[in-house]
Structure 1
Amino acid sequence: MKRLVLSLVLIVSMGVGGYAANCKDLPSEADLRAAMIASANATAGGLFNGARMWAAVVHRDGEICGSITSTGDPTQVWPGSQAIAKAKAYTANAFSLDPLALSTAMLYTFTQPGHSLNSLGQSNLFNPQFLAAPTGQGGGNNQIAGGLIFFGGGVPLYKNGKIIGGLGISGDTACTDHEIAKRVRNNLGFNPPGGATADDIVYSPPDPPSVFAHPVCLNTFRNSLFIGNEAPASYPKAP
């Protein structure tokens, strides 16, 4: 019996040690919150200027290292954004490499109907088991939540030119989510080798046509410059 207990203790210790080692180079939840607060202002755009966000970080194996809201009251951030932030972190990490940083915004066009990766979203489904209670922080640490998101807000994280994980931000428009994610990553020093804008969002228009294009959102800013607003929907007129 003692031998069994000792074996279990060793297994748990090894698991915790492996988790700590994989997460130790990534930002803490406190660092994430501070960086989100510092990044939110009028040039973030969107509905709330980036002030009501969920953030999540995963390590290279895709396990959640931390998640937190930018506000002290998580109920004042969209509850649905917790799952989206975790899935964005997972996606950005899952499809980026040392020489190729792919933000979730860059995957938008590829995954639309008629494009080559249209069914990609069915390949790694999100596991809702790893969500925190609506009134609580965190949830699912040391677990792979999965989930794939193909609009702005997820960016890969790098250290010394090597990818070490992913960051997901959600709580505003997809365009503002991307801006905040980009700012948080830059403020904390986790940019890819090509710099802060290596995997930046592409808007077409006003940018030239691109396979990496993402729609313009409501009150869209990029790198503190106003881009425009989402085009209003048009519907066929009744005869």
Structure 2
Amino acid sequence: MFCAALVGLAATVAAGRAEAACPVTPEALKSALVKADEKDSTGLNNHYWAVAVDRTGAVCAVAYSGETTASQWLLSRQIAAAKAFTANGLSQDGAPLSTAQLYPWVQGSPSGGNPLFGLAAGNPLDGATVYDGNYDKFGTAQDPLIGKRVGGTITFGGGVGLYDGDKAIGGLGLSGDTACADHSTAWRTRKLLKLAPSNPTDKLTFDDLAGHPHCPNDADTQGVNKPNA
């Protein structure tokens, strides 16, 4: 499944298909993100950056949940973009995949590593693009990231696919707090946007050996496989 998804991602990016419709407007993303942030009780109680990409992987909406651009980690803007790109690129119709699910597949081990060891080195972030533009436009409808495929591969919580029923239509990435809080707030944001898949199997599984490790204050994390929480 993972290998097929990676092949599909490479083909999509290489083909340079015509732009797809954005799953969400910047205004709707901002509203949902702020509400999701207000309800979050996990992690470090930080604010977030959120980035949405269309089905071709192009950034189409950027928002932040704090009062100003500087109210959340600036570094998280590009991490959120890479999470959205990753989740979109590895999610398929009826088969959502979150960045949190990648964590156990990319870890090294004494026996030689897991099936996707080294994945994070693939599809590197386009630094020239992600750092370009006017800082005053960051997180607005005129964010310099809009329309760009910035790439990036992130293998911890915070990125989820966006869906219209069972149809994959894009990706959402959140960053700014612990990986568990990022996943939790992304899960809640997607639900508020009404863009969750019909069968959301892309949950985070807490397991320090075979899943995603626990994070500080993660007891109320949303989107978790409850039996393993």
Q: TM-score range by the shorter chain?
A: 0.7 to 0.9
Quick check: 127-136 or 54-63, which moved more? 127-136
Alignment of 1:1-239 (within 5 A): 19=19, 22-24=20-22, 26-41=23-38, 43-48=40-45, 52-113=47-108, 114-131=113-130, 132-137=133-138, 138-195=143-200, 198-204=201-207, 210=210, 213-220=211-218, 221-223=220-222
For 1:68 and 1:77, the matched residues in 2 are separated by 11
Deviations 1:28-72 (A, max 9, x none): 111111111111246431111xx5110001111111111121123
TM-score by length of 1: 0.77
Return the structure number with greater strand share: 1
CA drift at 1:139 = 2.0
Which has the greater radius of gyration?
1
Post-superposition offset of 1:90: 0.2
Distance 1:191 1:105, change over 3 A: same
Letter in 2 for 1:23: A
Letter in 1 for 2:203: D
Q: Residues 165 and 196 of structure 2 are in contact (CA less than 8 Å); yes or no, is this contact kept in structure 1?
A: no
The Cα RMSD (Å) is: 2.0
SS in 2 for 1:81: helix
Asked if the contact 1:56/1:64 (under 8 Å) is kept, the reply is yes
Q: How many angstroms does 1:141 deviate by?
A: 1.2
TM-score, L = length of structure 2: 0.80
Contact 1:74–1:136 (8 Å) recurs in 2: no
Shift of 1:128: 1.7
Secondary structure (helix, strand or coil) at the match of 2:137 reads: coil
Q: Report the Cα distance in structure 1 between the residues aligned to 2:70 and 2:137, rounded to whole angstroms.
A: 9
Paired with 1:85 and 1:40, the residues of 2 have a C-alpha distance of 15
SS of 1:140's equivalent in the other structure is: coil
Cα 1:173–1:134 shift into 2, 3 Å:
farther
Instruction: List alignment gaps of at least 5 residues for structure 2.
Output: 1-17
Secondary structure of 1:40's counterpart equals: helix
Relative to structure 1, the CA distance from residue 86 to residue 43 in structure 2 (aligned partners, 3 Å threshold; closer, same or farther) is closer
Larger relative contact order (C-alpha < 8 A, sep ≥ 6)? 2
1:154, CA displacement in angstroms?
A: 0.2
Percent of counterpart pairs with the same letter? 35
1:58-113 Cα distance to aligned partner (Å, 9 max, x none): 11111111112112311111010011000000000011111211100000010111
Correspondence for 2:12: none
